[in-house]
């Protein structure tokens, strides 16, 4: 069993794993380089194992280090959640709320939603994890998540939200055939290695685009190229309208299921519950 001293060394281990070097970890933790080195060496001594091999170009994590990393991440996430819980003020809607959602939602929807929420509860502070990967709420990686896949972890409260419809759009500057009835002959922006979009169209019996001018898995980059006029691409319908994009084949819409999720323990915390309830009320207006 690890001692309290070893627990104190976990931030150094976690930082080295994430930054790839002692110097990077030192900058991240605002500690001296020798301090980080001593903490790693002390952790290796207590665990009786080697965590990193030293080389001229820096540190290389061992298999044991990679095996321990998920546990270190859980410790760090729980510690951050503890700090957020401690920020709450009894009987008042005050404290820090950590939210996670996709990069598109974080960039184009959350600014309006959180600005409105802050206007009603100025005691709130926010942390926003903009990622297209599902954060582990069971390990307190975030307090509230907006997800586009069904939650599978235990002990979560999930609110099914209205579907966010997506469709196909283009810049007003992109010349498209009048009366077009398919995407077959238009310049098209698709995903890349994820390879989800074209199979989804094929499953709906839609004639597939033959002029894919850009493949990219980053939805923010896809949207930027649609706005620039490179080709037709996919976007949330309400977002596309706000961005001044032109609908292409407006009858071709794809519902995108949404869930607003909070850990059941966090749902009882007043400031997190207030944020959850606000998101539940206001997100459908923007999505």
**What residue ranges in 182-271 does DSSP mark as E strands?**
187-190, 211-215, 233-236, 246-248, 254-263
Q: Using the predicted structure, report yes or no on whether residue 2 has a pLDDT greater than 60.
A: no
Q: What is the mean pLDDT of residues 247-265?
A: 90
The pLDDT value given to residue 160: 95
Of 48-52, 80-84, 165-169, 257-261, which range is least confident?
80-84
Q: Using the predicted structure, report yes or no on whether residue 180 has a pLDDT greater than 90.
A: no
pTM, 2 dp: 0.71
Q: What is the mean pLDDT of residues 229-238?
A: 96
User: Which H or E run contains 194?
Assistant: none
User: pLDDT digits over 62-97, tens only?
Assistant: 999 999 988 888 888 777 777 777 776 666 788 889
What angle (nearest 5°) sits at the alpha carbon of residue 43, between those of residues 42 and 44?
A: 90
Confidence category of residue 138, pLDDT binned at 50, 70, 90: low
DSSP letters, 115-126, are HHHHHH-TTEEE
User: Are the CB atoms for 63 and 73 separated by under 8 Å?
Assistant: no
Please, which residues have CB within 8 angstroms of residue 208's CB and are 6 or more apart in sequence?
183, 184, 198, 201, 202
- Average pLDDT of the chain is 88
Confidence category of residue 165, pLDDT binned at 50, 70, 90: very high
Which residue has better confidence, 179 or 41? 41
Taking the C-alpha atoms of residue 6 and residue 184, their distance in angstroms, rounded to an integer, is 60
Taking the C-alpha atoms of residue 15 and residue 24, their distance in angstroms, rounded to an integer, is 8
Q: Using the predicted structure, report yes or no on whether residue 181 has a pLDDT greater than 80.
A: yes
Please, which residues have CB within 8 angstroms of residue 61's CB and are 6 or more apart in sequence?
17, 51, 52, 69
């Amino acid at each position: 069993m690890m001692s309290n001293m070893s627990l104190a060394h976990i931030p150094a281990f976690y930082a080295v794993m994430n930054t790839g070097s002692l110097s990077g970890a030192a900058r991240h933790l605002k500690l001296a380089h020798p301090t980080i080195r001593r903490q790693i060496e002390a952790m290796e001594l207590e665990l009786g194992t080697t965590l990193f091999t030293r080389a001229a170009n820096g540190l290389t994590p061992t298999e044991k280090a990679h095996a321990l990393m998920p546990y270190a991440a859980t410790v760090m996430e729980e510690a951050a959640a503890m700090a957020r819980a401690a920020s709450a003020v009894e009987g008042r809607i005050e404290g820090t709320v950590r939210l996670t959602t996709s990069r598109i939602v974080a960039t184009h929807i959350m600014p309006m939603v959180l600005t409105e929420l802050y206007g009603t509860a100025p005691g709130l502070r926010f942390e926003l994890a903009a990622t297209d990967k599902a954060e582990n709420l069971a390990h307190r990686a975030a307090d509230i998540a907006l997800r586009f896949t069904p939650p599978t972890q235990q002990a979560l409260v999930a609110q099914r939200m209205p579907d966010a419809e997506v469709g196909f759009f283009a810049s007003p500057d992109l010349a498209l055939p009048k009366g077009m009835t398919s995407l077959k002959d238009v310049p098209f922006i698709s995903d890349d290695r994820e390879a989800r979009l074209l199979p989804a169209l094929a499953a709906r019996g839609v004639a597939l685009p033959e002029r894919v001018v850009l493949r990219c898995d980053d939805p923010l980059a896809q949207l930027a190229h649609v706005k620039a006029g490179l080709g037709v691409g996919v976007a949330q319908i309400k977002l596309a309208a706000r961005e001044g994009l032109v609908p292409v084949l407006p009858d071709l819409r794809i519902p995108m299921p949404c869930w607003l999720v909070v850990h059941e323990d966090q749902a009882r915390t007043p400031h997190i519950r207030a944020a959850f309830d606000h998101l539940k009320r206001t997100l459908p207006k923007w999505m």
